[in-house]
């Protein structure tokens, strides 16, 4: 026991339990009548009665104990305060006796005669409830039936929404219907919102792109072309749209874009697969056979449909052709690609890369000229690169086998270098290079007549970058030709330095480049016809320019990377002030144009909706989404005007001192 506080608490708990049945019984009539005002009034009276009972216990608990417990010797007042030593001693004696004298049964005996159950207070409240009930029954007895057109009490009806998603017919997906929820559906699906109970009136739906729909007597519907969310009765639901994918073409054989068949090959294998997310409507294999060289190349086209399989989504096809079926002969090339179309409402047509099957022709000795360079005419005295390699290898072998004199080695090495230089200059003229790199190789007449004008440019100079040579070949051919010329020049330097062994590597490199030019003598380009737009004969030669777009551009006019309305909106979102007029349209247009990712766009539209609802804490999030759509923000350098006054000049001069 711990003094008066604990004793008073125990007595208050016992008094509360004695009065509790009254409070509970008083609520039953009002609950049965379903009258909220009566229940509120009874609750208020119970609170008043409990406060009055607590005051009664606080004032009289000491006298209750003195009268009911003789062991306390009429000294209960000492539990509240004992100021003298004798009083404190008596208080300790009383507290020691309370453990045995004041148990739970004794507390109930103390409270029972002093706190009544209060059931008499229940009678007036029951009478009041009976009066209210009787008044509620009289109109029903007096008026047997209300008129059909008069509705006395209209109960609130909660609208029940049914969401129906109908995928496009070409997908073959089933139609779904149910309560509001998150839905994944194909692109082009129709979504309907209908009220299950039409008596509820109408309800409003808010879409994330700023549109509002009303569902009532008629259902609201949209065609889903992009992912969005909609809000109804404070809850958001996502419509996630899956775009229709284009067919995927996979060519597994041949494994390389350019497949070189072996000499003597008789077959060629092809294997491919076409897949689509719903169905492949059409797939064709296009074959083009190229035969001939130079300007005498003939192309033959064939088109073959690929058969359908049991699964409409997949078409697998493979075949091992004989070269006779393909019509290929040595030196021919076969180009093929696959074109596929799906069954979408707007069909997607894709075309695979072009693969090449090349059947090499028998090699021809001493043949370096190529149809990629039709201007090259080799004279009879011009030695081939392969012959130069043979001569260099023979010189190295003779130097090892016999003891050749230094003069003989120099003569033979310089002779091979001369042949290499002549061949290099012959190839170099197609890139606009000079005819020689060494002065004095061309013979000039040293006995000019007196007084004759000397043409220094033609006698000692060389022509560079001729107009015809600059545009005769494509860039890839020029690159290969430059590689060959650099290798020839390295080989020539090594031969003139009397080191024929180090000249072999660049000579072989030059030969490989020349052979690459020979193999590139046939270039295949799939041509497509140009269809110009139709000419309107009724407005021809009339000068009518309505609808014509101007290609003129203002001189020195800079494009506006960030619209002014968006800049004003971003600035306003940084504070708590009012936003610009029509700011939701500006934000929705910017988000739809710049944010292509579905998750980012939905997050930005959710922030727009929250800010439109008045959420100040959501403004930084919307500001961040709008700034995320700025790909390249321009840097504006602007001078700030500064006014110079006598005071500022004096201040600046004084500070300098």
Q: Hey, what's the torsion of the CAs at 241, 246, 252, 256, to 10 degrees?
A: -120
pLDDT per position as a tens digit, 580-619: 988 999 999 999 888 888 888 899 999 999 998 888 889 9
Tell me the C-alpha distance between 102 and 93, whole Å: 14
Report which listed range, 305-319, 449-463, 526-540, is most confident: 305-319
Query: Is the CB of residue 358 less than 8 Å from the CB of residue 259?
Result: yes
Closest CA to 280 of 312, 328, 236, 242: 312
The residues, any chain, with a CB within 8 Å of residue 650's CB and separated by 6 or more, are none
Helix (H, G, I), strand (E, B), or coil: what is residue 514? Answer: helix
Helices (H), 338-474: 385-401, 406-428, 456-460, 467-472
What pLDDT, on a 0 to 100 scale, did the predictor assign at position 63? 62
What pLDDT, on a 0 to 100 scale, did the predictor assign at position 43? 84
Query: Is the CB of residue 299 less than 8 Å from the CB of residue 525?
Result: no
Tell me the C-alpha distance between 204 and 183, whole Å: 19
Q: In the 3-class helix/strand/coil scheme, how is 434-462 assigned residue by residue?
A: CCCCCCCCCCCCCCCCCCCCCCHHHHHCC
What pLDDT, on a 0 to 100 scale, did the predictor assign at position 294? 60
What pLDDT, on a 0 to 100 scale, did the predictor assign at position 51? 82
Percent of the chain with pLDDT over 70: 70
Query: Is the CB of residue 19 less than 8 Å from the CB of residue 49?
Result: yes
The two three-digit tokens of residue 369, written as one number: 């000229």
Q: How far is CA 470 from CA 281, 475, 510, in A?
A: 48, 10, 22
Q: Which residue has the higher pLDDT, 60 or 650?
A: 650
Taking the alpha carbons of 553, 559, 565, 566 in that order, is the dihedral positive or negative?
A: positive
Is the confidence at residue 44, as pLDDT, over 60? Answer: yes
Is the confidence at residue 476, as pLDDT, over 90? Answer: no
pLDDT band of residue 82 (cuts 50, 70, 90) is: low
Query: Is the CB of residue 160 less than 8 Å from the CB of residue 197?
Result: yes
pLDDT band of residue 101 (cuts 50, 70, 90) is: low
pTM of the entire structure? 0.48
Rounded mean pLDDT, 79-101: 59
The two three-digit tokens of residue 41, written as one number: 């009034």
Q: Which residue has the higher pLDDT, 506 or 525?
A: 506
Closest CA to 622 of 582, 581, 586: 586
Note every long-range contact of 497-505, with CB atoms under 8 Å and residues 24 or more positions apart, other chains counting: 498/409, 498/410, 498/413, 500/392, 500/395, 500/396, 500/399, 500/413, 500/416, 501/396, 503/392, 504/389, 504/392, 504/393, 504/396
pLDDT band of residue 526 (cuts 50, 70, 90) is: low
Between strands 176-178 and 161-166, the pairing is antiparallel
The two three-digit tokens of residue 310, written as one number: 């049991």
Tell me the C-alpha distance between 392 and 412, whole Å: 9
pLDDT band of residue 546 (cuts 50, 70, 90) is: low
pLDDT band of residue 163 (cuts 50, 70, 90) is: very high
pLDDT band of residue 196 (cuts 50, 70, 90) is: confident
Residue 201 parent element (H or E): none
The two three-digit tokens of residue 145, written as one number: 């039936």
Least confident of 241-255, 463-477, 592-606: 463-477
What pLDDT, on a 0 to 100 scale, did the predictor assign at position 348? 92
Q: Which residue has the higher pLDDT, 186 or 116?
A: 186
Query: Is the CB of residue 197 less than 8 Å from the CB of residue 159?
Result: yes
What pLDDT, on a 0 to 100 scale, did the predictor assign at position 319? 92
pLDDT band of residue 295 (cuts 50, 70, 90) is: low
Rounded mean pLDDT, 562-566: 86
Is the confidence at residue 68, as pLDDT, over 70? Answer: no
Tell the burial category of 15 from Cβ atoms under 10 Å away from its Cβ (0-12, 13-18, 19+): buried
Tell the burial category of 484 from Cβ atoms under 10 Å away from its Cβ (0-12, 13-18, 19+): buried
What pLDDT, on a 0 to 100 scale, did the predictor assign at position 287? 93
Q: In the 3-class helix/strand/coil scheme, how is 132-194 assigned residue by residue?
A: HHHHHHHHHHHCCCCCCCCCCCCCCCCCCEEEEEECCHHHCCCCEEECCCCEEEECCEEEEEE
What pLDDT, on a 0 to 100 scale, did the predictor assign at position 639? 58
């Amino acid at each position: 026991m711990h003094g008066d506080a604990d004793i008073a608490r125990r007595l208050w708990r016992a008094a509360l339990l004695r009065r509790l049945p009254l409070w509970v019984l008083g609520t039953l009539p009002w609950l049965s009548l379903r009258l909220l005002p009566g229940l509120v009034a009874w609750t208020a009276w119970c609170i008043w009665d409990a406060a009055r009972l607590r005051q009664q216990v606080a004032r009289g608990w000491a006298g209750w104990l003195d009268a009911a417990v003789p062991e306390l010797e009429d000294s209960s007042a000492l539990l509240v305060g004992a100021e003298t030593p004798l009083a404190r001693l008596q208080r300790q004696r009383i507290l020691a006796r309370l453990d045995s004298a004041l148990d739970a049964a004794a507390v109930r005996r103390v409270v029972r005669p002093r706190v009544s159950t209060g059931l008499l207070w229940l009678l007036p409240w029951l009478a009041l409830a009976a009066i209210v009930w009787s008044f509620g029954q009289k109109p029903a007895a007096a008026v047997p039936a209300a008129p059909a057109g008069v509705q006395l009490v209209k109960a609130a009806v909660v609208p029940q929404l049914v969401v129906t998603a109908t995928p496009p017919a070409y997908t073959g997906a089933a139609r779904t219907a149910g309560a509001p929820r998150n839905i994944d559906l194909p692109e082009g699906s129709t979504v309907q919102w209908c009220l299950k109970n039409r008596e509820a009136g109408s309800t409003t739906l808010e879409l994330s792109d700023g549109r509002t729909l009303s569902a009532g007597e008629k259902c609201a519907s949209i065609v889903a072309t992009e992912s969005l969310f909609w809000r109804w009765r404070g809850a958001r639901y996502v419509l996630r749209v899956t775009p229709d994918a284009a067919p995927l073409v996979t060519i597994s054989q041949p494994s390389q874009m350019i497949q070189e068949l072996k000499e003597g090959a008789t077959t060629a294998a092809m294997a491919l697969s076409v897949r689509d997310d719903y169905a492949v409507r059409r797939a064709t294999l296009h074959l083009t056979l190229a035969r001939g060289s130079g300007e005498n190349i003939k192309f033959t086209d064939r088109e073959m449909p690929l058969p359908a399989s049991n699964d409409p989504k997949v078409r697998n096809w493979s075949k091992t052709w004989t070269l006779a079926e393909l019509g290929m002969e040595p030196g021919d090339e076969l180009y093929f690609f696959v074109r596929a179309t799906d069954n979408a409402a707007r069909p997607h047509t894709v075309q695979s890369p072009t693969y090449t099957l090349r059947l090499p022709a028998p090699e021809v000795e001493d043949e370096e000229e190529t149809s990629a360079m039709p201007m090259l005419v080799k004279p009879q005295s011009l030695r081939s690169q392969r012959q130069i390699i043979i001569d260099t290898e023979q010189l190295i072998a003779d130097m090892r086998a016999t003891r050749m004199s230094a003069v003989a080695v120099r003569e033979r090495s310089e002779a091979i270098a001369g042949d290499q230089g002549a061949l290099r200059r012959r190839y170099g003229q197609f890139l606009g290079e000079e005819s020689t790199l060494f002065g004095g190789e061309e013979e000039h007449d040293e006995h000019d007549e007196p007084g004759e004008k000397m043409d220094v440019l033609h006698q000692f100079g060389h022509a560079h970058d001729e107009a015809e040579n600059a545009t005769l070949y494509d860039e890839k051919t020029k690159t290969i030709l430059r590689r060959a010329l650099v290798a020839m020049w390295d080989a020539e330097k090594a031969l003139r330095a009397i080191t024929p062994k180090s000249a072999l590597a660049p000579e072989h490199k030059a030969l490989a480049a020349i052979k690459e030019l020979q193999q590139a003598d046939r270039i295949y380009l799939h041509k497509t016809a140009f269809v110009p737009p139709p000419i309107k004969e009724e407005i021809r030669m009339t000068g009518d320019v309505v609808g014509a777009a101007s290609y003129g551009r203002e001189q020195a006019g800079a494009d506006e990377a960030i619209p002014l309305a968006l800049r004003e909106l971003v600035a306003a979102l940084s504070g708590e002030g009012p936003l610009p007029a029509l700011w939701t349209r500006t934000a929705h247009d910017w988000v739809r144009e710049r944010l292509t990712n579905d998750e980012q766009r939905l997050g930005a539209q959710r922030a727009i909706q929250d800010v439109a609802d008045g959420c100040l804490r959501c403004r930084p999030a919307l500001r961040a989404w709008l700034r995320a759509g700025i790909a390249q923000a321009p840097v504006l350098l602007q001078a700030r005007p500064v006014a110079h006054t006598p005071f500022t000049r004096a201040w600046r001069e004084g500070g300098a001192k």
